[in-house]
A = this chain, B = another copy of it.
Amino acid sequence: METILSSPSRQVIIGGDHPFVIIGERINPTGRKVLTEQMLAMKMDMVRSDALKQVAAGAHMLDINAGVPDDGVEPAILKAAIQAVQETVDVPLSIDSSVIAALEAGLSVYQGKALVNSVTGEDERLEVVLPLVKKYGAAVIAIANDETGISNDPQVRLQVAQKIMKHAEHYHIPPEDVLIDPLVLTVSADTQAAQNTLETIRLIKERLGVNMTCGASNVSFGLPWREHINTTFLAMAMAAGLPSAITNPLKPEIRRAVLAGDLLMGHDAFAGQFIAAYRAQQEQQVKAD
């Protein structure tokens, strides 16, 4: 199954035997004081430079989140951020908000086929987000939790995913336009957290066959050596069937783990992509020296 996202000039395919898709997570004001201030002042300089940096570092798509403390201004900021990013880079975008008015504002100006981030398995969210996704011909990230909260049981997460797929069908959204988020929780709070996610990925791949994405960096929250945990988790998740993740491409080790993962998954014939990235990095280093 292939999920296609697009900008006016570029198409990204998630799934099938295509290389893993990195969705850059940096354009998000959470915990970023300067970015928050700029967004509130409707200045998009940092948004643009974050977009450029992430694409240069290998992001195939970018997530755009304008979740400033004031919900009332979020729609206008998200709209402006999306326009600024689409003027700056040509990768497809993920429009990230829990505020429906913000999602609609973002979708209304987005050029291409967007990814909506996100809906959950809660009835009231499904009923407002899915019609929006359909109206704008977008794809959507659907998180495998519902009214009852987040289950630790992979079978329950699968059931929530099945419920979401039924609702999507009802709104005539094709299965390839739903990316299930199997839910990544931190392993510091629960020793079985990563195993639960990996088992959910395997189940969803086997039983539903749909594509997936997740916020991969959550797994290491609260722990040292996060880069080692994050890259190891990404490798395990790729092997289990995860075809994309929302993560930080500015960490070179993340990008390289994904390149190595594509190679080991048999998705990089003759190591062409891997060796090209290595050479590009060597050339940059020579220039820098």
Contacts and interface: CB of A to CB of B under 8 A. Distances in A.
B219 A231 contact: no
A136 interface: no
Contact of A264 (B195, B256, B264, B278): B195
Given A231-B232, A236-B264, A191 B270 contact: yes
Interface string A124-144: 000000000000000000000
Contacts of A271: 187-188, 191, 223
A77 interface: no
A238 B236 CA distance: 8
A266 interface: yes
Chain A interface size band reads 35 or more
Contact of A240 (B195, B228, B239, B270): B239
Interface string A181-202: 0000001100110110010000
Given A219-B264, A264-B187, A271-B187, A278 B224 contact: yes
A226 to B, nearest CB: 10
Interface in A269-287: 269-271, 274-275, 278
A257 B269 contact: no
A239 B263 CA distance: 17
A228 B191 contact: no
A260 interface: yes
B229 A231 contact: no
User: Which 5 A/B pairs are nearest by Cβ-Cβ distance?
Assistant: A235-B235, A232-B260, A194-B264, A236-B239, A228-B256
Contact of A224 (B195, B238, B266, B275): B275
